[in-house]
């Protein structure tokens, strides 16, 4: 018991020396406390040196006290600088560790969302594209019916999309989903909807020589012709699709505009007040 009571606690400098060891298990909070103690120690040493300068009874003792206080202040200043650097290092390490832990905490949700995307997106895209195709076909049939409407018939049907969205017409602020929505294949990144327009690169690829080994054989021209023919068919299909959908959209909008005009004229005729009686 007496040995324990006589055991001295480590001094401030000893605790600082320990905290400055590269492998010391010390936190930024503990280092901040040591920095505060070091700053207090410097202030006390400076105060003691100022007091000792006024001593005159024992000049030798005063000089020694001043030297001791100066040494203590300078020593603590050196240690303080190292403590501050150590504090910044430990603080940066703690921030990196905390950031990585937060990032790792998001990984399970990220993985679950990725799995859900792979499960949901392909089927959803297939259903949406199928629906868009059927809406476009129905729009075409409606447009043909409107163009063949008998004289004097005022009835009309909005497109399925306009009806579903409660709109009378599309605009820049409210575009059609069939033209504004872009869907891509999850694995290849290839655009699925709307069908991509042929580019100059595709046209060049249609006539370019194949890059695989058969070009060095006598049959290379057969592959070139086959690829070129397939490219021309695909380009023509895409061009026809865009030409058809554009014309159908224009015809539908023109028919709806004519119908609105006729309805307006009919309302004006019904609401027009009778003219003044003619004198006999």
pLDDT band (50, 70, 90) for residue 24: confident
104-155 pLDDT, tens digit per residue, is 999 999 999 999 999 999 999 999 999 999 999 999 998 888 887 777 666 6
Cα–Cα distance measured from residue 178 to residue 134, given in angstroms and rounded to the nearest whole number: 11
Q: Is the pLDDT of residue 249 over 90?
A: no
**262 close to 154: Cβ distance less than 8 angstroms:** yes
pLDDT at 167: 93
pTM assigned to the model: 0.50
Q: What are phi and psi of 148, to 5 degrees?
A: -100, 20
pLDDT at 111: 97
186-231 pLDDT, tens digit per residue, is 999 999 998 766 554 554 454 444 444 444 444 544 555 666 566 6
At a CB cut-off of 8 Å and minimum separation 6, what does 15 contact? 34
Q: Which of 257, 253, 252, 249 is nearest to 178 (CA)?
A: 249
| C-alpha dihedral sign at 206, 209, 215, 221 | positive
Please tell me the least confidently modeled range out of 41-55, 87-101, 212-226.
212-226
Please tell me the least confidently modeled range out of 38-52, 87-101, 122-136.
38-52
pLDDT band (50, 70, 90) for residue 239: low
Q: How many other CB atoms are found less than 10 A from the CB of residue 38?
A: 24
Provide the residue ranges of all domains of the chain, joining segments of one domain with +.
10-111, 178-269
pLDDT at 67: 75
């Amino acid at each position: 018991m007496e040995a324990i009571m006589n055991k001295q606690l480590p001094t401030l400098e000893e605790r600082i020396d320990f905290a400055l060891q590269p492998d010391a298990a010390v936190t930024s909070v503990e280092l901040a406390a040591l920095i505060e103690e070091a700053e207090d120690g410097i202030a006390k040493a400076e105060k003691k040196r100022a007091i000792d300068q006024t001593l005159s009874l024992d000049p030798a003792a005063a000089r020694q006290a001043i030297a001791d206080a100066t040494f203590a202040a300078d020593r603590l200043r050196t240690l303080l600088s190292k403590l501050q650097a150590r504090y910044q290092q430990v603080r940066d390490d703690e921030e990196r560790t905390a950031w990585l832990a937060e990032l790792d905490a998001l990984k399970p949700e990220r993985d679950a969302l990725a799995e859900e995307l792979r499960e949901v997106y392909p089927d959803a895209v297939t259903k949406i594209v199928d629906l868009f195709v059927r809406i476009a076909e129905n729009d075409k049939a409606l447009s043909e019916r409107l163009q063949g409407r008998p004289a004097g018939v005022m009835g009309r049907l909005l497109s399925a999309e306009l009806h579903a969205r409660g709109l009378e017409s599309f605009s820049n602020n409210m575009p059609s989903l069939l033209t504004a929505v872009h869907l891509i294949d999850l694995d290849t990144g290839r655009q699925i909807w709307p069908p991509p327009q042929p580019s100059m690169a595709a046209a060049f690829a249609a006539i370019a020589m194949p890059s695989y080994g058969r070009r060095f054989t006598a049959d290379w021209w057969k592959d070139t012709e086959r690829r070129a023919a397939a490219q021309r068919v695909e380009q023509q299909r895409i061009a026809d699709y865009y030409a058809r959908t554009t014309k159908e959209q224009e015809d539908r909008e023109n028919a709806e505009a004519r119908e609105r005009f006729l309805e307006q004229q009919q309302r004006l005729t019904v609401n027009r007040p009778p003219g003044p009686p003619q004198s006999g």
